[in-house]
Chains A and B, each alone.
Chain A
C-alpha cells in the first residue's frame, strides 16, 4: 500500500516538474521562437507594412481639407486557421484613425462588430414623449463614407524537396473611393515560413 502511494507521489511530482510555467509575453521585445501558424507578430508586421504603404501614397490627402470617412468592408480569412480578421482590421483602422487623416463610420460596415447598434437605438425614441426631443438626434445627421476598406488573408502550403513544408501567408488590402468606385490603394504583404512537414498550421 505504502509502495503504491509512493510510486503515485513520485509520478505526480515528475509530471508536475514537466509542465511549463505560465509567463507573460513582452510584446515589444518578444524573444520567443517563430511558430508555423500566424501569431500576433505576423499580424503586427503585416499591419505595419500595409499602413506605411498607405500613408506613403498620399492618397488620404483631400484637396478640400476635409477628413475622409471610412467604412470597413469584409476581410476574408482564406487560411486553415481559425482567425478573427477583426484583429488585423482593428489594428489597421486604429493606425489610420491615429494618423489624423481618417474618421470611421460606426453606422455602416460589413460586419456587426464594426457597427454600433446604439446609433439606431437612440433614434428609435424620436417622438417618444418620455425623452426631451431637443436632445434626440435629428434626421440627416449621419455622414456617409467616402472610403471603403476590404481585404483577404490567403494561406498556401508547399512541400519542399527535402520533405519540409513551406507556408506562405498573403495579406491583401485595398482602399476604394465609394463615390467613384476607383481603387485608391492596394497592397499585398507576404510572410513566408519553413517548418517540419508534421508541424500543424491550423
Chain B
C-alpha cells in the first residue's frame, strides 16, 4: 500500500516537472537567432510566413519579454532566395523595439522581392 502511494507521488512529481520543463523552454527554430547576451529573457515564438495579396512574403513573429523590466531590443530579418543566397536590401536593417515587462508583441517584415522564399531572424540587445 505504502509502495503504491510512493509510486503515485513519484509519478505525479515527474508529470509536474515535465509540464514545467515543456512550458519554460525557449522555442527552437533554426531560422531564429537570439543573441546569447539576452539569455532566456527574450523569446521569439509563433514564426509564420504568408503572401496574402502580394507576391512577396510577409513574416510575422511574436517576441516575448520574459523579464519584469523594459527590454530594449533590435531585430533584423535577412531574406534568402531559392538558392539560399542573401538578398541585399535596405529592408534588412536593424529595427529598434522596446518591450514593456512581460509584453508579447507581434513583429512583421515584408520580403524585398518575390524571389525571397526563406529568412533568418536575428535579435540582439539595443545599442
Contact = CB atoms under 8 A, between A and B. Distances in A.
A91 B88 CA distance: 13
B47 interface: no
Main secondary structure of the interface of A (DSSP, over half): helix
A101 B56 CA distance: 10
A95 B53 CA distance: 19
Interface residues of B, number: 21
B56 to A, nearest CB: 4
Contact of B90 (A47, A55, A56, A100): A47
Contacts of A100: 113-115
Contacts of B108: 52
B98 interface: no
24 contacts: A28-B93, A29-B94, A31-B127, A45-B95, A47-B90, A48-B91, A51-B112, A52-B91, A52-B109, A52-B110, A55-B56, A55-B112, A56-B54, A56-B58, A58-B52, A58-B53, A58-B55, A61-B55, A95-B91, A95-B112, A99-B112, A100-B113, A100-B115, A101-B55
Interface of A: 28-29, 31, 44-45, 47-48, 51-53, 55-58, 60-61, 91, 94-95, 98-101
